Chains A and B, each alone.
Chain A
Amino acid sequence: MTTPLLQITDLRASLPGPPQVEILKGISLTINPGEVHAIMGPNGSGKSTLSKVAAGHPDYEVTGGTILLGGENLLDLEPDARARKGLFMGFQYPVEIPGVSNAEFLRIAANARRKERGEEELDPFDFQELLTEKMKVLDMDARFKERGVNQGFSGGEKKRNEILQMAILEPTVAILDETDSGLDVDALRIVSAGINALRRPDNGVLLITHYQRLLDYVQPDFVHILAHGKILKSGGKDLALEVETRGYDWITG
């Protein structure tokens, strides 16, 4: 029997009140090594909340459940410790940080992760080499290195930058929150190729998406439909196609 990479059990989370609003109402999900899962669902179903709660966003209060990564409950860890343990969250709306060069930010982040894994930290020279190589895969212009983090990036460039971070941090599990939103077809293809290139037998990906089209490019092993804070239906990639033609109503009632 394989040991799961990520095991979410009966996860409950709220926006603190008053009035307290429960958004996740008991979510359970297991990702095994090498698997790609997709979570789909209508607006307001709790998809983005799930990713933020997993990453430790301070806006939410976890009221129950566990998220185990490598046997450790992530909910006991600070957001940065979760990242260093190997969780990656790709933001739906990546944040702009003018004044911090993208390359410097990426190097600091990469070294924080490397240190955690007991690997030697990379000096700026070695890191440049790694960065150049990864940027090539994502078809990113070299000028993105020296620009401020996400500063003045288009929607597509920001998402590519998220995948670049994922490529550099080599997470155990990546949760990608609506990485496809705001992408044109070309950008979607490049971003998807990046995600596919990062699929490995020893890591896992959780794609959160509103539309089926991302799943044409990144083939999931499992698809889950999230609505009203719960996973109402799980299946294979055909489930996504069914949602595309029939909508969510037949599941959500």
Chain B
Amino acid sequence: MTTPTATSPVNMRDARVPEVPEALSTAADALRAASPSPALQSFRAAAWSAFARLGLPETKHEDFSYVSAADLKSSLLRPVAPPAAAMVEGSVGSAAVALDFTDGNLASFTVPDNVGLHALAEEDFPAALRTAWTTLVEHEIDAPAALAWALARQPLAVTVPRDLKTTVRVHALQKDAARADLALFFRLEANADAEVVLEADLGADAFANAALAFSLAPGARLRVLQADAAEGLQLLKLRFDLEQDARVEFLSVSTGSRLARLALEANLNAPGAQVDLRGAAAVNETNRVHRHLRIRHAAPHCTSNQLFKAVVLGTARSSVDGTVTVDRGAQQTDARQLLQHQLLSAEARADAKPRLLIHADDVKCSHGATVGKTDPAQFFYLRSRGLTPAAANALLTQAFLGEALDLAPDGARSAAWATLASALHAGGAA
């Protein structure tokens, strides 16, 4: 089995005295005490030291400058429920992988014969997988993710063997629980092909903090379709590590919520790796949606595309903070980044921070950000064909978001559009 290449953090933080709140360290101690597994203990210790290095997020930290510090901190400091024995219903030999979490506990699973599902606490957890996972956790760059790795009750890994095609559905249900932390690791062996659907259903006051890492062997293909929950406080970190000719397609669909933050980290570690990362959001009322993107071209001949679009209504806010780093020697890099917002009300707010850090001289990189209303020429064209202002705006908003949805298969695309359209409609745009 190939070990995923570990990479050093993209952004080195300034020296800061790590402040680990007592409530969290007590919870971490309780978790450690509850599990006799040395593997799990050392994994959690690695995550914990990453969190200590990163510190509790503050608005003054660049990575969280657009996010409500009060919501973020109070969420992350919520008490961690003590470990409890949970009933798990499982079946092996199904057609697809399904993992259902309730309140942070694995409630049920199905897994095909040839796909591996391993709990990190188990003794037979593959050693190479554990090393790879622990190494990437040590190098975590996102503070909430470090906490998710540290505090998840049952870190799980899914392994897809070489040449196998499979689908995975992960669903997190959390109606009343104050807090749940989730940790998942996916390893796709050479030329494996997986479609992963990530869904969450949260109560208005629920807080979910999830970290998922995907490690792709040469030639592996991954498509991730992720949808935010309609309410609640949700922090999600996804990390992709790609070896030679591996490909990732990712789509996030969101209508925002009181706090919805997605952090993406993609490391293109060998020639021919490609990522296409897209987001479509329609955010109304007082909802918030934040995207934090860190793409690293660590090898030559890799391609990355980022297209993130959001329509903001009411007094909602959206932010996209994206950085592409091209390492020295990563020649022939092709990196594109476009962050676009449409503001449909005077009080709506959007922040975009596109950034390129290029340390190679033979690369093709573009980045841009736009914030605007609907295009007046397109608007007039539609009205000249008899469409009312509301109908014209609805169509233009659909068009604006549509491009980001293009990589979803038809069924997922229309479901995504239905979600976004309902937010637009509720916000008075259509």
Contacts and interface: CB of A to CB of B under 8 A. Distances in A.
A118 to B, nearest CB: 15
B386 interface: yes
Contact of B385 (A56, A78, A169): A169
Interface stretch (B67-75, B141-149, B322-330, B391-399): B391-399
Interface in A101-148: 104-105, 108-109, 112-113, 116, 148
Contact of B398 (A55, A80, A100, A109): A100
Interface stretch (A63-71, A91-99, A181-189): A91-99
Interface string A39-60: 0000000000000000111100
B386 A113 contact: yes
A135 B241 CA distance: 48
Contacts of A99: 398-403
A78 B386 CA distance: 10
Interface string A70-102: 000000001110111000010100110111100
B378 interface: yes
A192 interface: no
Contacts of B402: 98-100
Interface string B34-62: 00000000000000000000000000000
B409 to A, nearest CB: 16
A56 B384 CA distance: 8
B384 A108 contact: no
Nearest to B403: A99
A203 interface: no
B387 A95 contact: no
Contacts of A105: 382, 385, 395
Given A109-B385, A112-B391, A100 B380 contact: no
B389 interface: yes
B39 to A, nearest CB: 48
Contact of B386 (A91, A94, A104, A116): A116
Given A95-B377, A112-B388, A79 B399 contact: no
A165 interface: yes
A97 B399 contact: yes
B383 A78 contact: yes
Contacts of B376: 58
Interface string B345-384: 0000000000000000000000000000000111011111
B383 to A, nearest CB: 4
B380 A79 contact: yes
Given A95-B377, A98-B403, A79 B384 contact: yes
A116 B396 CA distance: 22
Contacts of A57: 380
A108 B390 CA distance: 12
A83 B381 contact: no
A82 B388 CA distance: 11
A80 B388 contact: yes
A91 B385 CA distance: 11
B12 to A, nearest CB: 39
Contacts of B387: 80, 108-109, 112
A171 to B, nearest CB: 10
A91 B381 CA distance: 9
Interface string B303-341: 000000000000000000000000000000000000000
B395 A80 contact: no
Contacts of B396: 97, 100
Given A94-B381, A97-B381, A108-B391, A148 B399 contact: yes
Interface in A163-192: 165, 169
Contacts of A100: 395-396, 398-399, 402
A109 B380 contact: no
Contacts of A95: 377-378, 380-381
A80 B392 contact: yes
Residue with the highest number of chain A CB atoms closer than 10 Å, among B386, B391, B402: B386
A108 B403 contact: no
Contacts of B391: 108, 112
A84 B386 CA distance: 5
B385 A83 contact: yes
A113 B385 CA distance: 9
A97 B376 CA distance: 12
Nearest to A104: B395
A52 B382 CA distance: 14
A2 to B, nearest CB: 26
Given A95-B377, A95-B378, A97-B378, A83 B384 contact: yes
Interface string B147-180: 0000000000000000000000000000000000
Interface in B280-323: none
A89 B384 contact: yes
Interface string A187-216: 000000000000000000000000000000
B403 A80 contact: no
B395 A108 contact: yes
Interface string B389-422: 1011001101111110000000000000000000
A156 B287 CA distance: 45
B378 A80 contact: no
10 tightest A-B contacts by CB? A99-B399, A99-B402, A112-B386, A83-B386, A109-B385, A95-B381, A80-B383, A100-B399, A79-B383, A84-B386
Interface of B: 376-378, 380-389, 391-392, 395-396, 398-403
Given A80-B385, A95-B381, 17 more contacts: A55-B384, A79-B380, A79-B384, A80-B383, A83-B384, A83-B386, A91-B384, A97-B396, A99-B399, A99-B402, A100-B395, A104-B395, A105-B382, A108-B387, A108-B391, A109-B382, A169-B385
23 contacts: A57-B380, A58-B376, A78-B383, A79-B383, A80-B385, A80-B386, A83-B383, A83-B384, A91-B381, A95-B377, A95-B378, A97-B378, A97-B381, A98-B403, A99-B403, A100-B395, A100-B396, A100-B402, A105-B382, A108-B391, A108-B395, A112-B386, A112-B388
Interface of A: 55-58, 78-80, 82-84, 89, 91, 94-95, 97-100, 104-105, 108-109, 112-113, 116, 148, 165, 169
